[in-house]
Amino acid sequence: MNLVYYEIVEDCIEATNVYDAYLSIIIDEKFINYLGILGKLVYYKDFDKPYFSVIVRGRYTIKGVQNDDKLRILLPDSAGVEDLETIKKYVNGYKN
């Protein structure tokens, strides 16, 4: 599993420091639960497109949709690239 690249999101209404992270695999339930270890997992399995978010209080929020290959990462305005690197390292450590 690899986090392939980041893309800055300019038009997000939820936050101003937002990135889309593109993955080398499709997000499945096992990967969602793996991300959930990082913080509070909110997972809506019964939606037509199962949606999840992982909230790491005061640091970042990761959002996504099951069966997609993209995560959205919302960071505080004061955050630097260190949190992105932490997330990348964690994601790249996933073994499916």
Q: Using CA atoms, how far apart are residues 96 and 24, in angstroms rounded to an integer?
A: 12
Looking at residue 12, its pLDDT comes to 82
pTM listed for this prediction: 0.91
Q: Using CA atoms, how far apart are residues 73 and 79, in angstroms rounded to an integer?
A: 12
List per-residue pLDDT tens for the chain, 96 residues long: 688 888 889 888 888 889 999 999 999 999 999 999 999 999 999 999 999 999 999 899 999 999 999 999 999 888 878 888 999 999 999 987
Looking at residue 61, its pLDDT comes to 96
Looking at residue 54, its pLDDT comes to 97
- Which two three-digit tokens encode residue 64? 């996504």
Q: Where are the domains of the chain?
A: 3-78
> Under a CB-based contact definition with an 8 Å cutoff, are residues 28 and 66 in contact?
yes
